[in-house]
């Protein structure tokens, strides 16, 4: 039974000897969106910012991040070079950038129940070196016990999204 439980929960990476506590400011970049909901990336970005702030982390104002990316003429966040990450960090006074993507964000349909499902990928990258300090892929949602067996109402999509982020960021701080 212990072997079957070892695969549960989010899988994540933390760079050896990384001191996340030394990160003073985090710039959360816009998220890539691989879902049908055209606003899922921005919705998840806002939740990540909110959760980081609740963990008492300094977060760069999202408008400043957007302005800096526009000024630097960054077209595709998935292909940022280390030098660009370093320039973003210098411009915004951030020790790290958080990049992410949303793989799923919506209501899934089961045989007899509908349930929310959210999957995100997050990376925290040190702006000085361009090295990945932390990375996670996490899914939350699905029908719970009461929903599967009794058809009761479960979490909303918004609640599932926040839970996904809280669990993911909880692995970092």
Number of domains in the chain: 1
Q: Per residue in 141-164, pLDDT tens?
A: 765 554 444 555 567 899 999 999
pTM of the predicted structure, to 2 decimals: 0.85
Tell me if 60 is assigned to some domain: yes
Q: What is the DSSP string of 88-114?
A: HHHHHT-SEEEEEEEEEEEEEE-SS-E
Average pLDDT, the chain: 86
Range of the domain at 100: 15-170
Give per-residue pLDDT as tens, 19-43: 887 888 999 999 999 999 999 999 9
Strands 11-14 and 114-126: what pairing? unpaired
CATH label of the domain that carries residue 118? 3.40.50.10610
Neighbours of 46 (CB within 10 A): 15
- CA atoms within a 13 Å half-sphere pointing along the CA-CB vector of 4: 1
Has residue 2 been placed in a domain? no
Position 139 in a domain: yes
pLDDT at residue number 7:
46
């Amino acid at each position: 039974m212990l072997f079957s439980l070892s695969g549960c929960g989010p899988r994540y990476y933390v760079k050896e000897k990384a001191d996340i506590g030394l990160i003073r400011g985090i710039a959360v970049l816009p998220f890539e969106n691989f879902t049908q909901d055209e606003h899922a990336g921005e919705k998840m970005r806002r939740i990540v910012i909110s959760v980081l702030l609740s963990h008492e982390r300094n977060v760069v104002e999202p408008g400043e991040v957007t302005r800096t990316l526009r000024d630097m003429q960054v077209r595709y966040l998935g292909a940022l070079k280390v030098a660009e990450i370093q320039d973003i960090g210098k411009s915004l006074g951030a020790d790290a950038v958080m990049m992410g993507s949303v793989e799923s964000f919506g209501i899934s349909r089961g045989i007899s129940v509908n349930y929310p499902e959210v999957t995100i990928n997050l990376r925290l990258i040190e702006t000085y070196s361009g090295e990945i300090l932390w990375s996670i892929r996490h899914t939350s949602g699905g029908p719970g016990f009461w929903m599967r067996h009794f058809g009761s109402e479960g979490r909303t999509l918004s609640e599932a999204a926040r839970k996904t982020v809280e669990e993911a960021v909880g692995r970092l701080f």
